[in-house]
Structure 1
Amino acid sequence: MSQFKIEELELISCEKILKNGGTFPLLIEAFNEIGESDYYVMKAFKKKSVDENYSVFKEIFLSELAPDFNLAAPEYGVTLINNNDLIEIHDEAQKVVNSVDYVNQLDTGYKFCSYYLSGMTTMNPELITKGKLSQYDIENIYAFDQVFFNSDRGGMRDKPNLMIDDDNIIIIDHEQSLPFINSFEQNKNVNYFNYFKGFNSPKHIFYNQVKKLAKENDGKLFDEFIDNLRTINIKKFNDLFNELDRFGIAYGNKDDIFAYLYWAKENFSKVQNLLLEKLK
């Protein structure tokens, strides 16, 4: 995975539209930069989503942040594709959309492509025992989503956005994170403390399980996550933004993003207290 050289993929073919994705994600085959072919999930965001929500940026940024918190995200790359080439596959696979109208709304820039995890399944936490969940450090996933305001792991649509097998759990789908950086956000003078305090924690997919764990761990549940937050090297992400500029990927005001990262790092003890307080 990039730290930080974003890989440009060369499209070979679009295989099919994958189910259960609001952005009609496509399974594609593509060459990586050393000429190896593999399968990826390409997310075709609408232009409005890229321009206002910075969806491609958020997918990349949170994928790059995850390893700093000992979390796994899929390898990824970006690719350019002529949107008109998508009309036929949309027309064949999705009778519920007007393919031409839908494709005409898509962004024409680089598209985010996540490595296809063929051996893993979408997680259903209701089918996994408490003992099984404990091996996956779900408290770190919960804390990561809280600190970076991911409202889409659980949320109103109860989406897991997690891939799982017997040994690993991998986080996917980050475009609903960091909402205060969006171009349509009216309040640019964000009070991070209040924003954090008001974030809807009970909607998280692991809220109930983590709440039980918090009672069992005497205030130490998030020690590992907070230690990673306290020691994260924020300056290194300047190199990522250079890569984003190379591909013309929109991210809004970089200063807003760095300001929050530094606030969270400098106020790590406050963040820890808030995480615990919201579970009481």
Structure 2
Amino acid sequence: MKILEAASYLSPIRFGGSTRPWVVQVGSLDGPIPYVVKLFTEKQTQQIHPIAKEVFGNELAREFDLAVPEWALIRFGGAFVASLPEREGLRLREIRAGLKFGSVEIPNAPIVDVRQQRAFLKNYDIGTIFAFDNLVWNLDRGGSHNKPNLLINDDTLVLIDHEQIFPFANDTLAPDAYVMPSFERSAWYYPYDKHLFYPLLKRMSASEKASVFDTFEYFLQNLSLGSLDTAASALTKQGIEIGNYPVIRKHLLQTKARAGEFCTFLTTLIA
């Protein structure tokens, strides 16, 4: 797990939602690199453990061969804080102290607009991202706030913003409360019909729907939690809350064990 030092403040991210991230020049072995750094408040940190969620989302996405930016934990040293513009220095008082989550900035990569860029979207990408978000219960890829949180870099879809995943693991006081949901619409509380790609999947032909989750199923059957376990341990050593990680782990292993059934269920959601 990389821990890098913030060198200089560059600019705010205008479309960054409630976290209003900064673009920060970060020192690395390869020289200064711009990172997008999330700024979570004390309340957000206590309620949803967002740094851990961001790390878990990025590590899991790689297990499914989904593109995500390189990430690191970013330290704001005294010299960096002293160099901030006055307005941003005042804002930093509202932000949880300690290491921040950052990911390498991808310049000139627009947010996906499904209506204008459908020709660039491959069926297996649409199916795998939809299935992945169902697996992790990502509330932030479409959803009530209509935020795609998906960039297109040349012809590659890049997933960003995972602080809203695994909402059922926010409660750290009930380690044994998780129950694997039945794979039926009445018991599936993830808002799948609000997902960015749901309308596209609904409009596919029956033959396309029959195979759209095949790539995801292959990766789920072969899912390893090694990188996730390593990340959870490293975050804990840095004093970063990881939420109810045993519940997350149990959920993933139980779904992996029923990979075929899970993907068949996803097909019923888009029928």
TM-score by length of 1: 0.86
Rounded to whole Å, the distance in 1 between the matches of 2:194 and 2:64 is: 22
Deviations 1:105-157 (A, max 9, x none): 3111210001000131111112113x322277111111111111001110111
Give the aligned partner of residue 23 of structure 1: 19
* Stretches (4+) displaced over 4 A: 184-188
- The alignment partner of 1:119 has SS state of coil
Match of 2:188 among 197, 211, 216: 197
Counterpart of 2:97? 108
Q: Which amino acid aligns with 1:126?
A: R
Matched, 1:241 2:217: no
Q: Which one is further off, 139-148 or 206-215?
A: 206-215
Pair 169,86 (structure 1): closer, same or farther in 2 beyond 3 Å: farther
CA positional deviation for 1:245: 2.3
* Residue 242 of structure 2 is aligned to residue 251 of structure 1: yes
Alignment of structure 1 residues 35-54 onto 2, 5 Å: 36-54=31-49
Unaligned runs of 5+ in 2: none
Equivalent residues of 2:120, 2:155 under 8 A apart: no
Cα deviation per residue 1:71-90 (whole Å; 9 max; x = unaligned)? 00000111122699389547
Tell me which residue corresponds to 1:3. none
Which residue type is aligned with residue 175 of structure 1? E
Distance in 2, matches of 1:150 and 1:16, equals 27
In the alignment, what sits opposite 1:150?
138
Does structure 2 retain, via aligned residues, the 8 Å contact 1:42–1:113? yes
Partner deviation per Cα, 1:181-227 (whole Å, 9 max, x = no partner): 11379796233324971211111011110222362325222111011
Give the % identical residues: 27
Distance change in 2, residues 1:224/1:43 (3 Å): same
Contact preservation (8 Å) 1:86, 1:103? no
2:120 aligns with: 132
Structure-2 change in CA distance of 1:248 and 1:145 (3 Å): same
The counterpart of 1:78, out of the listed 73, 79, 85, is 73
* Contact 2:169-2:245 within 8 A present in 1 as well: no
Output the amino acid matched with 2:128: N
- Alpha-carbon distance in structure 1 between the residues aligned to 2:209 and 2:149: 29
If the length of structure 2 is used for normalisation, what is the TM-score? 0.89
User: Is the aligned partner of 1:183 residue 2:178?
Assistant: no
Q: Secondary structure at the match of 1:219?
A: helix
1:222 matched residue in structure 2: 213
With 78-87 and 58-67 compared, the bigger mean Cα shift is at 78-87
Q: Which AA in structure 1 matches 2:87?
A: D
